[in-house]
């Protein structure tokens, strides 16, 4: 995974079991807002890349760190500001929105949007679906316009490969209890937040 | 959560989004094995408590840190070494095993067992089920006997409250993609490891 010297985790000297497992709110407020506002990070955790230049499977090697998911700042695409296009060409295929967008709030106010996309190999609309997923976090227009200085345009993306072939728990009781753990015991809000229907823009 | 000075996370000065999100293997090998072998930790992450003296809802305040799940070393109960009893009295109720035990491996060898339990208020078998869950990690007898010095008897427990009332994603596509994220993108093996049927002992 990249060059050892640039691995921010090596600099942190984390005890066993500590890892980057951010909530949606942390990604938006602590990382994307700061990035867009031009603030410097004392330790660079999330690198910059133009995600749409690459197939997703080459991205892990381009991340600063990561085990099963990788984070990037990517330039915000300005070509389709209204977000109405159904897919986005990238590498040998395209990203296609899936599910419903999620409004991310912070201190009771809307802070941004989380969108899920799936990578398809080939040309739309006849591409072949893969297990590569992107979660794209972007700030709301309103929050972006609030800054007094010029704002850069960035989105924050999480890339991971879905583990579709994973063996499932055998007992239904196990499934229930442990799925619940996955959704409630972790600090991340990957799973257990409220999803609001907000179009597929 | 507890007294600020004892919070090990404050000492770590973690960047935003970093948290304790250990895999089963890390809990067994990096924490429980070391504890049982009497090794010192440079930073105490997991405190000691006799879990069966308390109701689960008082445990968060007794942990060294934690947001939605809390970790403890607890003395291994010697009363029923064969593990055949159906419940364990604790506080105002009892813990009852649920699902199937999971064998945790490390470097291809069996290292320990992960057991899930649910807390019931009242007297067995007529107690009322709660949403409080325990994952108990214990070493295999064989690995415990391998040490040359005297071994202390400890188990490592994760306590959390299941979020049964959480709202679910509206779209089935969302459910699918994001549940998959929960099970595959995180580094933890809470969800996506293979569960082996090994009785409820």
Q: Pick the residue from chain B with its C-alpha nearest to A13.
A: B12
Could you tell me if residue A156 is inside a domain? yes
pLDDT above 50 for B201: no
| pLDDT mean over A91-101 | 94
Is the residue at B199 inside a domain?
A: no
Full-model pTM = 0.74
Is position B147 within any domain?
yes
Domain assignment present for residue B7? The answer is no
Instruction: Report the percentage of chain B scoring pLDDT > 70.
Output: 67
Find the CB nearest A21 among B21, B133, B170: B21
Chain A and chain B share a number of CB contacts under 8 A equal to 211
**Partner B contacted by A185 (CB < 8 A):** yes
Domain count, chain A: 1
Residue in B with minimal Cα distance to A15: B43
- Strands B69-75 and B47-48, sheet pairing: parallel
- Residue with the larger pLDDT of the pair A145 and B62: B62
Is A166 in contact with B183 (Cβ distance < 8 A)? yes
Average pLDDT on A131-144 reads 84
A22: tokens are 């951010």
The sheet with strand B128-139 has its strands ordered as: B47-48, B69-75, B154-161, B128-139, B109-121, B93-106, B87-90
H helix or E strand, kind and range, residue A110:
strand A109-121
Return the minimum-mean-pLDDT range out of A31-40, A158-167, B108-117. Answer: A158-167
Tell me what pLDDT residue A87 has. Answer: 64
- Cβ-defined contact of B187 to A67 (cutoff 8 Å): yes
The count of other CB atoms within 10 Å of the CB of residue A3 is: 7
Instruction: Give a yes or no: residue B175 inside a domain.
Output: no
Interface contact B180-A164, CB threshold 8 A: yes
The C-alpha atoms of residue B37 and residue B154 are separated, in whole angstroms, by: 10
Overall average pLDDT of the A44-66 stretch: 94
DSSP character string of A75-95: EPP-S-TT---SEEEETTEEE
**pLDDT classification of A152: cutoffs 50, 70, 90:** low
When comparing pLDDT for B47 and B42, which is higher?
B47
Report whether pLDDT(A122) > 50: yes
Torsion of CA B187, B189, B190, B192, to 10 degrees: 110
Contact state of B180 with A163 under an 8 Å Cβ cutoff? yes
CA A16 to the chain's CA centroid: 24
- Across the interface, of A171, A182, A195, the residue whose CB is closest to B170 is A195
Q: Quick check: B159 and B72 in contact, CB under 8 A?
A: yes
- CB contact B118 to A (< 8 Å): yes
Beta-bridged to residue A69, according to DSSP, are A160
pLDDT of residue B129: 97
* pLDDT the model gives residue A82: 52
Flag whether B172 is in a domain. no
**Measured between beta carbons, which residues in chain A are less than 8 angstroms from residue B116?**
174, 177-178
pLDDT higher than threshold 60 for residue A148? no
The alpha helices in chain A, defined as continuous H runs, are: 8-12, 24-26, 33-36, 141-145, 172-184
Q: Which of B178, B179, B197 to mutate to test the interface with A (most CBs of A within 10 A)?
A: B178
Higher pLDDT, residue B180 or B154: B154
pLDDT band at B35 (very low <50, low <70, confident <90, very high): very high
Query: How many other β-carbons are positioned within 10 Å of the β-carbon of residue A116?
Result: 25
Q: Do the beta carbons of residue B137 and residue B106 sit within 8 Å?
A: no
CATH number of the structural domain spanning residue B35? 2.170.150.80
DSSP per residue, chain B: ---GGG-HHHHHTPPTTEEE---HHIIIIIIIHHHHTTPPPSS--SEE--GGGS-GGGSGGGSSS-SSEEEEEEEPP-S-TT---SEEEETTEEEEEEEEEEEEEETTEEEEEEEEEEEEESSTTSPEEEEEEEEEEEE-HHHHHT-SS----EEEEEEEE--TTPPPPSSHHHHHHHHHHHHHTSS--TTTSPP------
What is the rounded average pLDDT for all residues in chain B?
77
Domain contains B12: no
Pull the structure tokens for residue A124. Answer: 């739309």
Give the pLDDT confidence score for residue A7 in this predicted structure. 76
Q: Report whether pLDDT(B64) > 60.
A: yes
Q: Is the per-residue pLDDT at A77 higher than 70?
A: no
Strands B109-121 and B128-139: antiparallel
CA distances, A33 to each of A38, A149, A180, B6 (Å):
9, 13, 31, 31
Mean pLDDT of B116-135: 96
More confident site: A67 or A177: A67
**Does pLDDT of B143 surpass 60?**
no
Residue B13 lies in a domain: no
Expressed as residue numbers, the domain containing B144 is 20-163
């Amino acid at each position: 995974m990249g060059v050892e010297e640039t691995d921010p985790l090596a600099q942190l000297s984390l005890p066993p079991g500590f890892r980057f497992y951010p909530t949606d709110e942390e990604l938006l407020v602590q990382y994307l807002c700061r990035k867009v506002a031009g603030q410097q990070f004392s330790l660079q955790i999330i690198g910059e890349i133009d995600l749409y230049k690459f197939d997703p499977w080459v991205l892990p090697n381009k991340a600063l760190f990561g085990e099963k998911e990788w984070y990037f700042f990517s330039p915000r695409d300005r070509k389709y500001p209204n977000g109405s296009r159904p897919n986005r060409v990238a590498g040998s295929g395209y990203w296609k929105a899936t599910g419903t967008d999620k409004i991310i709030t912070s201190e009771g106010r809307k802070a941004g949007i989380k969108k899920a996309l799936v990578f398809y190999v080939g040309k739309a609309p006849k591409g072949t679906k893969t297990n590569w997923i992107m979660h794209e976090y972007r700030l709301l227009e309103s929050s972006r316009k609030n800054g007094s200085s010029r704002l850069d345009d960035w989105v924050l993306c999480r890339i991971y490969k879905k583990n579709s072939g994973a063996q499932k728990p055998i007992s239904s009781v196990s499934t229930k209890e442990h799925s619940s753990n996955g959704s409630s015991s972790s600090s991340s809000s990957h799973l257990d937040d409220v999803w609001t229907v907000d179009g597929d823009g």
